[in-house]
Structure 1
Amino acid sequence: MPKNKNRSFAVIGLGTFGTTVASELARFGNHVLGIDTVERNVSRVAETLTEAVIADGRDEQALREAGVGNYDVAVVAIGEELEANILCTMNVKLLGVPTVWVKAMSRTHHRILTKLGADRVIQPEQEIGRHIAQMLHNPLVRDYVSLGNGFHVVDFRVPESLNEKRVDAVGLTDDFDLRALGLMRGSEFVGCESGATQMRTDDKLLLLGRRENLRRFADGL
Protein backbone atom coordinates (compact mmCIF):
# COMPACT_ATOMS: atom_id res chain seq x y z
CA MET A 1 0.00 0.00 0.00
CA PRO A 2 1.55 3.34 -1.01
CA LYS A 3 2.28 5.95 1.67
CA ASN A 4 1.84 9.64 1.05
CA LYS A 5 1.10 12.81 2.98
CA ASN A 6 -2.60 11.86 3.13
CA ARG A 7 -3.85 9.26 5.57
CA SER A 8 -5.14 5.84 4.62
CA PHE A 9 -8.66 4.72 5.51
CA ALA A 10 -10.44 1.38 5.67
CA VAL A 11 -14.22 1.78 5.52
CA ILE A 12 -16.08 -1.37 6.54
CA GLY A 13 -19.74 -1.45 5.58
CA LEU A 14 -20.69 0.11 2.25
CA GLY A 15 -24.29 1.09 2.77
CA THR A 16 -25.36 4.67 2.08
CA PHE A 17 -23.37 6.11 5.00
CA GLY A 18 -20.21 4.07 4.45
CA THR A 19 -20.22 4.61 0.69
CA THR A 20 -20.58 8.37 1.14
CA VAL A 21 -17.73 8.55 3.67
CA ALA A 22 -15.45 6.33 1.57
CA SER A 23 -16.17 8.15 -1.70
CA GLU A 24 -15.58 11.59 -0.18
CA LEU A 25 -12.32 10.48 1.45
CA ALA A 26 -11.18 9.13 -1.92
CA ARG A 27 -12.21 12.37 -3.62
CA PHE A 28 -9.91 14.23 -1.22
CA GLY A 29 -7.01 12.13 -2.53
CA ASN A 30 -6.71 9.61 0.30
CA HIS A 31 -5.92 5.90 -0.07
CA VAL A 32 -9.26 4.24 0.74
CA LEU A 33 -10.12 0.57 1.12
CA GLY A 34 -13.82 -0.33 1.05
CA ILE A 35 -15.08 -3.60 2.54
CA ASP A 36 -18.53 -5.18 2.49
CA THR A 37 -20.06 -8.66 2.46
CA VAL A 38 -22.39 -7.77 -0.43
CA GLU A 39 -20.84 -7.99 -3.89
CA ARG A 40 -23.03 -5.30 -5.46
CA ASN A 41 -22.02 -2.80 -2.75
CA VAL A 42 -18.35 -3.50 -3.44
CA SER A 43 -18.82 -3.32 -7.21
CA ARG A 44 -20.57 0.03 -6.90
CA VAL A 45 -17.43 1.70 -5.47
CA ALA A 46 -14.74 -0.39 -7.19
CA GLU A 47 -13.82 2.40 -9.61
CA THR A 48 -14.10 5.18 -7.02
CA LEU A 49 -11.94 3.80 -4.21
CA THR A 50 -8.32 2.74 -4.23
CA GLU A 51 -9.33 -0.81 -3.31
CA ALA A 52 -12.66 -2.56 -2.70
CA VAL A 53 -12.95 -6.13 -1.45
CA ILE A 54 -15.65 -8.56 -0.38
CA ALA A 55 -14.98 -9.60 3.22
CA ASP A 56 -16.79 -10.08 6.53
CA GLY A 57 -15.90 -7.57 9.24
CA ARG A 58 -16.72 -10.21 11.86
CA ASP A 59 -13.81 -12.31 10.62
CA GLU A 60 -10.50 -11.06 12.05
CA GLN A 61 -8.47 -13.17 9.62
CA ALA A 62 -10.36 -11.81 6.62
CA LEU A 63 -9.63 -8.25 7.74
CA ARG A 64 -6.00 -9.17 8.35
CA GLU A 65 -5.70 -10.58 4.82
CA ALA A 66 -7.27 -7.41 3.44
CA GLY A 67 -4.48 -5.44 5.13
CA VAL A 68 -6.75 -3.44 7.44
CA GLY A 69 -4.10 -3.44 10.19
CA ASN A 70 -1.84 -1.32 7.96
CA TYR A 71 -4.32 1.54 7.68
CA ASP A 72 -4.22 4.76 9.69
CA VAL A 73 -7.97 4.89 10.31
CA ALA A 74 -10.78 2.36 10.29
CA VAL A 75 -14.38 3.49 9.89
CA VAL A 76 -16.86 0.82 10.99
CA ALA A 77 -20.00 1.82 9.09
CA ILE A 78 -21.98 -1.41 9.53
CA GLY A 79 -25.47 -0.18 10.33
CA GLU A 80 -28.14 -2.80 10.77
CA GLU A 81 -26.38 -5.69 12.50
CA LEU A 82 -25.39 -4.83 16.07
CA GLU A 83 -23.32 -7.98 16.58
CA ALA A 84 -21.39 -7.49 13.34
CA ASN A 85 -20.73 -3.85 14.21
CA ILE A 86 -19.33 -4.73 17.66
CA LEU A 87 -17.26 -7.70 16.46
CA CYS A 88 -15.80 -5.64 13.63
CA THR A 89 -14.86 -2.88 16.08
CA MET A 90 -13.10 -5.43 18.30
CA ASN A 91 -11.28 -6.88 15.30
CA VAL A 92 -9.89 -3.60 13.98
CA LYS A 93 -8.72 -2.73 17.50
CA LEU A 94 -7.01 -6.15 17.76
CA LEU A 95 -5.34 -5.53 14.41
CA GLY A 96 -3.81 -2.37 15.83
CA VAL A 97 -5.48 0.29 13.70
CA PRO A 98 -4.42 3.57 15.41
CA THR A 99 -7.74 5.41 15.03
CA VAL A 100 -11.20 3.81 14.95
CA TRP A 101 -14.47 5.60 14.20
CA VAL A 102 -17.71 3.63 14.54
CA LYS A 103 -21.32 4.23 13.60
CA ALA A 104 -23.71 3.61 16.52
CA MET A 105 -27.42 2.84 16.39
CA SER A 106 -28.49 3.73 19.94
CA ARG A 107 -27.29 5.26 23.19
CA THR A 108 -26.62 1.80 24.67
CA HIS A 109 -24.69 0.82 21.56
CA HIS A 110 -22.74 4.08 21.90
CA ARG A 111 -21.70 3.14 25.45
CA ILE A 112 -20.60 -0.35 24.41
CA LEU A 113 -18.45 0.99 21.57
CA THR A 114 -16.86 3.54 23.88
CA LYS A 115 -15.97 0.75 26.33
CA LEU A 116 -14.39 -1.17 23.46
CA GLY A 117 -12.04 1.73 22.83
CA ALA A 118 -13.55 3.40 19.76
CA ASP A 119 -11.93 6.81 19.31
CA ARG A 120 -15.11 8.39 17.99
CA VAL A 121 -18.66 7.05 18.06
CA ILE A 122 -21.07 8.71 15.67
CA GLN A 123 -24.84 8.59 15.32
CA PRO A 124 -25.32 10.24 11.91
CA GLU A 125 -29.11 10.57 12.06
CA GLN A 126 -29.03 12.30 15.45
CA GLU A 127 -26.11 14.54 14.57
CA ILE A 128 -27.66 15.66 11.29
CA GLY A 129 -31.03 16.06 13.02
CA ARG A 130 -29.58 18.39 15.65
CA HIS A 131 -27.72 20.32 12.96
CA ILE A 132 -30.87 20.83 10.89
CA ALA A 133 -32.99 21.72 13.94
CA GLN A 134 -30.52 24.43 14.92
CA MET A 135 -30.70 26.00 11.46
CA LEU A 136 -34.49 25.68 11.29
CA HIS A 137 -34.86 27.25 14.75
CA ASN A 138 -33.08 30.43 13.67
CA PRO A 139 -32.87 31.12 9.92
CA LEU A 140 -29.91 33.46 10.56
CA VAL A 141 -27.79 30.45 11.52
CA ARG A 142 -26.16 29.32 8.28
CA ASP A 143 -23.98 26.59 9.74
CA TYR A 144 -22.04 25.65 12.86
CA VAL A 145 -19.20 23.44 14.06
CA SER A 146 -18.92 21.85 17.50
CA LEU A 147 -15.46 22.21 19.05
CA GLY A 148 -16.25 20.10 22.11
CA ASN A 149 -16.63 21.10 25.78
CA GLY A 150 -19.72 23.10 24.90
CA PHE A 151 -17.99 25.48 22.48
CA HIS A 152 -19.15 26.08 18.91
CA VAL A 153 -18.23 28.24 15.95
CA VAL A 154 -21.40 29.56 14.34
CA ASP A 155 -21.90 31.23 10.98
CA PHE A 156 -24.63 33.92 11.31
CA ARG A 157 -26.15 35.85 8.46
CA VAL A 158 -26.05 39.50 9.48
CA PRO A 159 -29.64 40.87 9.45
CA GLU A 160 -30.71 44.37 8.43
CA SER A 161 -30.96 45.35 12.09
CA LEU A 162 -27.16 45.13 12.36
CA ASN A 163 -26.35 46.77 9.03
CA GLU A 164 -23.44 49.25 9.34
CA LYS A 165 -23.08 48.60 13.08
CA ARG A 166 -19.62 48.05 14.49
CA VAL A 167 -18.85 44.57 15.78
CA ASP A 168 -17.94 45.99 19.20
CA ALA A 169 -21.27 47.83 19.45
CA VAL A 170 -23.55 44.80 19.84
CA GLY A 171 -22.32 43.56 23.23
CA LEU A 172 -20.82 40.32 22.01
CA THR A 173 -18.17 40.12 24.75
CA ASP A 174 -19.87 41.93 27.63
CA ASP A 175 -23.45 40.70 27.18
CA PHE A 176 -23.00 37.28 25.59
CA ASP A 177 -19.40 36.20 26.32
CA LEU A 178 -18.83 35.59 22.60
CA ARG A 179 -15.82 36.26 20.40
CA ALA A 180 -16.05 37.49 16.81
CA LEU A 181 -13.56 35.59 14.65
CA GLY A 182 -14.25 37.57 11.51
CA LEU A 183 -16.66 38.24 8.68
CA MET A 184 -17.06 36.62 5.28
CA ARG A 185 -18.16 39.27 2.79
CA GLY A 186 -18.74 37.37 -0.41
CA SER A 187 -15.42 35.58 -0.97
CA GLU A 188 -13.46 38.10 1.14
CA PHE A 189 -12.48 37.53 4.79
CA VAL A 190 -12.68 40.64 6.97
CA GLY A 191 -10.94 40.55 10.35
CA CYS A 192 -12.65 41.80 13.51
CA GLU A 193 -9.66 42.11 15.85
CA SER A 194 -10.18 45.79 16.62
CA GLY A 195 -13.95 45.60 16.95
CA ALA A 196 -14.28 48.63 14.69
CA THR A 197 -15.28 46.57 11.65
CA GLN A 198 -18.70 47.54 10.34
CA MET A 199 -21.11 44.74 9.50
CA ARG A 200 -23.25 44.72 6.38
CA THR A 201 -26.52 42.93 5.70
CA ASP A 202 -25.90 39.36 4.54
CA ASP A 203 -22.30 39.26 5.77
CA LYS A 204 -21.47 35.97 7.45
CA LEU A 205 -20.43 36.67 11.03
CA LEU A 206 -18.27 33.92 12.54
CA LEU A 207 -18.69 33.66 16.30
CA LEU A 208 -17.03 31.48 18.93
CA GLY A 209 -18.75 30.71 22.22
CA ARG A 210 -20.88 28.35 24.27
CA ARG A 211 -24.11 27.06 22.80
CA GLU A 212 -26.41 28.78 25.31
CA ASN A 213 -24.78 32.17 24.73
CA LEU A 214 -24.84 31.78 20.95
CA ARG A 215 -28.53 30.89 21.19
CA ARG A 216 -29.30 33.96 23.31
CA PHE A 217 -27.57 36.18 20.80
CA ALA A 218 -29.28 34.58 17.79
CA ASP A 219 -32.72 34.66 19.41
CA GLY A 220 -32.38 38.40 20.02
CA LEU A 221 -31.62 39.32 16.41
Structure 2
Amino acid sequence: MKKQFAVIGLGNFGFYLATELFKKGHEVLGIDINPKMVQEIRDWVSRAVIADATDPQALKELELKKMDAVVICIGSILNNSILATLNVKDLGVKRVVAKAVSEAHGRILRKIGADEIYFPEKDLALTAAQRLDNPNVLDYLPFMEGYSIVQLAPPSSFTGKSLIQLDLINRLGIQVIAIKELVPENVVLIPTGHFVVKESDVLILLGPDDALNGLQET
Protein backbone atom coordinates (compact mmCIF):
# COMPACT_ATOMS: atom_id res chain seq x y z
CA MET A 1 0.00 0.00 0.00
CA LYS A 2 1.31 3.42 -0.99
CA LYS A 3 2.30 5.55 2.00
CA GLN A 4 3.46 9.11 2.56
CA PHE A 5 6.83 9.78 4.22
CA ALA A 6 8.87 12.86 4.98
CA VAL A 7 12.62 12.61 5.50
CA ILE A 8 14.29 15.52 7.30
CA GLY A 9 18.05 15.75 6.78
CA LEU A 10 19.38 14.57 3.43
CA GLY A 11 22.90 13.49 4.31
CA ASN A 12 24.02 9.98 3.38
CA PHE A 13 21.53 8.14 5.62
CA GLY A 14 18.61 10.43 4.81
CA PHE A 15 19.38 10.41 1.08
CA TYR A 16 19.48 6.63 0.79
CA LEU A 17 16.44 6.19 3.03
CA ALA A 18 14.36 8.66 1.03
CA THR A 19 15.36 7.27 -2.37
CA GLU A 20 14.77 3.66 -1.32
CA LEU A 21 11.29 4.49 0.00
CA PHE A 22 10.55 6.25 -3.30
CA LYS A 23 11.76 3.22 -5.29
CA LYS A 24 9.32 1.09 -3.30
CA GLY A 25 6.45 3.19 -4.65
CA HIS A 26 5.80 5.54 -1.73
CA GLU A 27 5.34 9.30 -1.79
CA VAL A 28 8.44 10.87 -0.28
CA LEU A 29 9.05 14.47 0.74
CA GLY A 30 12.73 15.30 1.23
CA ILE A 31 13.57 18.23 3.51
CA ASP A 32 16.92 19.90 4.17
CA ILE A 33 18.19 23.37 5.02
CA ASN A 34 21.02 22.97 2.48
CA PRO A 35 19.94 23.89 -1.08
CA LYS A 36 22.65 21.63 -2.55
CA MET A 37 21.27 18.56 -0.74
CA VAL A 38 17.76 19.37 -1.95
CA GLN A 39 18.93 19.83 -5.53
CA GLU A 40 20.78 16.49 -5.53
CA ILE A 41 17.73 14.49 -4.43
CA ARG A 42 15.06 16.38 -6.38
CA ASP A 43 14.81 13.81 -9.19
CA TRP A 44 14.80 10.83 -6.81
CA VAL A 45 11.81 11.63 -4.58
CA SER A 46 8.26 12.91 -5.05
CA ARG A 47 9.15 16.40 -3.81
CA ALA A 48 12.14 18.08 -2.18
CA VAL A 49 12.08 21.39 -0.34
CA ILE A 50 14.47 23.71 1.43
CA ALA A 51 13.33 24.21 5.02
CA ASP A 52 14.76 24.70 8.50
CA ALA A 53 13.43 21.86 10.67
CA THR A 54 14.22 23.84 13.82
CA ASP A 55 11.60 26.42 12.73
CA PRO A 56 8.11 25.20 13.77
CA GLN A 57 6.36 27.47 11.29
CA ALA A 58 8.42 26.18 8.37
CA LEU A 59 7.42 22.59 9.18
CA LYS A 60 3.78 23.53 9.76
CA GLU A 61 3.56 24.89 6.22
CA LEU A 62 4.65 21.49 4.86
CA GLU A 63 1.54 19.76 6.31
CA LEU A 64 3.56 16.97 7.87
CA LYS A 65 0.62 15.85 10.00
CA LYS A 66 -0.85 13.97 7.03
CA MET A 67 2.30 11.85 6.64
CA ASP A 68 2.30 8.19 7.67
CA ALA A 69 5.72 8.79 9.22
CA VAL A 70 8.33 11.51 9.48
CA VAL A 71 11.98 10.46 9.81
CA ILE A 72 14.49 12.87 11.34
CA CYS A 73 17.92 12.02 9.93
CA ILE A 74 19.84 14.94 11.43
CA GLY A 75 22.78 13.56 13.38
CA SER A 76 25.78 15.87 13.30
CA ILE A 77 24.20 18.75 15.25
CA LEU A 78 22.38 17.25 18.23
CA ASN A 79 20.46 20.40 19.16
CA ASN A 80 18.97 20.56 15.68
CA SER A 81 18.01 16.88 15.83
CA ILE A 82 16.27 17.39 19.19
CA LEU A 83 14.47 20.58 18.10
CA ALA A 84 13.33 18.99 14.84
CA THR A 85 11.95 15.98 16.73
CA LEU A 86 10.09 18.24 19.18
CA ASN A 87 8.65 20.32 16.35
CA VAL A 88 7.43 17.27 14.46
CA LYS A 89 5.82 15.82 17.60
CA ASP A 90 4.08 19.14 18.28
CA LEU A 91 2.50 18.95 14.83
CA GLY A 92 0.74 15.73 15.82
CA VAL A 93 2.54 13.44 13.37
CA LYS A 94 1.33 9.88 14.00
CA ARG A 95 4.74 8.18 13.74
CA VAL A 96 8.03 9.94 14.43
CA VAL A 97 11.26 8.09 13.68
CA ALA A 98 14.67 9.55 14.51
CA LYS A 99 18.31 8.77 13.83
CA ALA A 100 20.61 8.82 16.87
CA VAL A 101 24.40 8.98 16.94
CA SER A 102 24.84 7.77 20.52
CA GLU A 103 22.94 6.03 23.31
CA ALA A 104 22.56 9.34 25.17
CA HIS A 105 21.22 11.03 22.05
CA GLY A 106 18.77 8.15 21.59
CA ARG A 107 17.52 8.42 25.18
CA ILE A 108 16.84 12.14 24.76
CA LEU A 109 14.96 11.57 21.50
CA ARG A 110 12.83 8.88 23.11
CA LYS A 111 12.04 11.09 26.13
CA ILE A 112 10.79 13.90 23.90
CA GLY A 113 8.49 11.57 22.01
CA ALA A 114 10.26 9.79 19.15
CA ASP A 115 8.39 6.54 18.49
CA GLU A 116 11.36 4.70 16.98
CA ILE A 117 15.10 5.28 17.17
CA TYR A 118 17.70 4.09 14.66
CA PHE A 119 21.43 3.82 15.35
CA PRO A 120 22.82 3.35 11.80
CA GLU A 121 26.50 3.37 12.72
CA LYS A 122 26.02 1.02 15.69
CA ASP A 123 23.83 -1.36 13.67
CA LEU A 124 26.32 -1.41 10.79
CA ALA A 125 29.19 -2.07 13.19
CA LEU A 126 27.33 -4.98 14.82
CA THR A 127 26.55 -6.49 11.42
CA ALA A 128 30.15 -6.07 10.26
CA ALA A 129 31.48 -7.63 13.47
CA GLN A 130 29.16 -10.62 13.07
CA ARG A 131 30.19 -11.17 9.46
CA LEU A 132 33.90 -10.80 10.23
CA ASP A 133 33.61 -13.15 13.20
CA ASN A 134 31.60 -15.73 11.24
CA PRO A 135 31.98 -15.54 7.43
CA ASN A 136 28.87 -17.73 7.03
CA VAL A 137 26.67 -14.92 8.40
CA LEU A 138 25.13 -13.07 5.43
CA ASP A 139 22.98 -10.66 7.44
CA TYR A 140 22.34 -9.91 11.10
CA LEU A 141 19.49 -8.28 13.05
CA PRO A 142 19.42 -7.83 16.84
CA PHE A 143 16.07 -9.19 18.08
CA MET A 144 16.14 -8.62 21.83
CA GLU A 145 18.79 -8.63 24.55
CA GLY A 146 20.99 -11.67 23.93
CA TYR A 147 19.05 -12.88 20.86
CA SER A 148 19.42 -12.19 17.15
CA ILE A 149 18.08 -13.16 13.75
CA VAL A 150 20.72 -14.13 11.19
CA GLN A 151 20.84 -15.18 7.56
CA LEU A 152 23.38 -17.95 7.40
CA ALA A 153 25.05 -19.87 4.61
CA PRO A 154 24.96 -23.46 5.91
CA PRO A 155 28.21 -24.72 7.47
CA SER A 156 29.53 -27.75 5.59
CA SER A 157 28.41 -29.99 8.46
CA PHE A 158 24.76 -29.01 7.77
CA THR A 159 24.54 -29.95 4.10
CA GLY A 160 22.76 -33.18 3.28
CA LYS A 161 21.18 -33.38 6.74
CA SER A 162 17.55 -32.89 7.71
CA LEU A 163 16.48 -30.37 10.34
CA ILE A 164 15.50 -33.33 12.56
CA GLN A 165 19.08 -34.61 12.35
CA LEU A 166 20.54 -31.19 13.09
CA ASP A 167 18.11 -30.74 16.03
CA LEU A 168 19.11 -27.09 16.47
CA ILE A 169 16.18 -26.19 18.72
CA ASN A 170 16.93 -28.85 21.33
CA ARG A 171 20.72 -28.74 21.14
CA LEU A 172 21.26 -24.99 20.87
CA GLY A 173 17.91 -23.26 21.34
CA ILE A 174 18.00 -22.05 17.72
CA GLN A 175 14.76 -21.90 15.72
CA VAL A 176 14.85 -22.20 11.92
CA ILE A 177 12.19 -19.65 10.96
CA ALA A 178 12.68 -19.81 7.18
CA ILE A 179 14.91 -21.19 4.45
CA LYS A 180 15.63 -19.45 1.15
CA GLU A 181 16.19 -22.02 -1.57
CA LEU A 182 18.23 -20.64 -4.46
CA VAL A 183 17.95 -23.74 -6.68
CA PRO A 184 15.09 -23.58 -7.54
CA GLU A 185 14.32 -20.14 -6.08
CA ASN A 186 11.81 -20.51 -3.25
CA VAL A 187 11.15 -19.47 0.35
CA VAL A 188 10.06 -22.07 2.92
CA LEU A 189 8.52 -20.54 6.05
CA ILE A 190 8.77 -22.57 9.28
CA PRO A 191 10.20 -25.63 7.48
CA THR A 192 9.36 -29.09 8.76
CA GLY A 193 11.93 -31.34 10.37
CA HIS A 194 12.15 -33.39 7.17
CA PHE A 195 13.66 -30.51 5.18
CA VAL A 196 17.14 -31.49 3.95
CA VAL A 197 19.64 -28.62 3.87
CA LYS A 198 21.45 -27.98 0.59
CA GLU A 199 24.74 -26.14 0.15
CA SER A 200 22.97 -23.44 -1.88
CA ASP A 201 20.31 -22.73 0.78
CA VAL A 202 20.23 -19.69 3.06
CA LEU A 203 18.99 -20.33 6.61
CA ILE A 204 17.12 -17.65 8.58
CA LEU A 205 17.66 -18.44 12.24
CA LEU A 206 16.49 -16.97 15.55
CA GLY A 207 18.41 -17.82 18.68
CA PRO A 208 20.82 -16.89 21.49
CA ASP A 209 23.83 -14.89 20.32
CA ASP A 210 26.33 -17.33 21.85
CA ALA A 211 24.75 -20.28 20.08
CA LEU A 212 24.55 -18.45 16.74
CA ASN A 213 28.19 -17.38 17.02
CA GLY A 214 29.19 -20.98 17.62
CA LEU A 215 27.57 -22.33 14.46
CA GLN A 216 30.76 -21.90 12.45
CA GLU A 217 32.28 -24.56 14.70
CA THR A 218 29.26 -26.91 14.56
Please report the TM-score for the alignment, with normalisation by the length of structure 1: 0.91
Q: Is the counterpart of residue 197 in structure 1 residue 191 in structure 2? A: no
Residue of structure 2 equivalent to 1:56: 52
Runs of 4+ in 1 over 6 A off after TM superposition: none
Alpha-carbon distance change, 22 to 190 in structure 1, aligned in 2, over 3 angstroms? closer
Contact 2:154 2:203 (8 Å CA) reproduced: yes
Identify which range, 205-214 or 132-141, moves more after superposition. Answer: 205-214
Deviation at 1:181, TM superposition (A): 2.4
Structure 1 residue identity aligned to 2:217? G
Q: Is the counterpart of residue 98 in structure 1 residue 97 in structure 2? A: no
Q: Equivalents in 1 of 2:89, 2:109: separation in Å? A: 11
Residue of structure 1 equivalent to 2:17: 21
Residue of structure 1 equivalent to 2:217: 220
Q: Equivalents in 1 of 2:209, 2:118: separation in Å? A: 20
User: Which one of the candidate residues 160, 164, 171 is aligned to 2:167?
Assistant: 171
Match of 2:74, SS state, is coil
Sequence identity percentage: 37
Report the count of equivalent residues: 216
Residue of structure 2 equivalent to 1:206: 204
How large is the Cα RMSD of the aligned pairs?
A: 1.7
User: Which one of the candidate residues 122, 137, 149 is aligned to 1:153?
Assistant: 149
Alpha-carbon distance change, 93 to 74 in structure 1, aligned in 2, over 3 angstroms? same
Please report the TM-score for the alignment, with normalisation by the length of structure 2: 0.92
Contact 2:136 2:216 (8 Å CA) reproduced: no
Structure 2 residue identity aligned to 1:220? E
- Per-residue CA distance 1:91-148 (angstroms, 9 max, x = gap): 0000011111111122211111110111111121111110111111101111133334
Contact 1:159 1:202 (8 Å CA) reproduced: no
Q: Equivalents in 2 of 1:29, 1:115: separation in Å? A: 32
Contact 1:144 1:153 (8 Å CA) reproduced: yes
Contact 1:152 1:208 (8 Å CA) reproduced: yes
Structure 2 residue identity aligned to 1:207? L
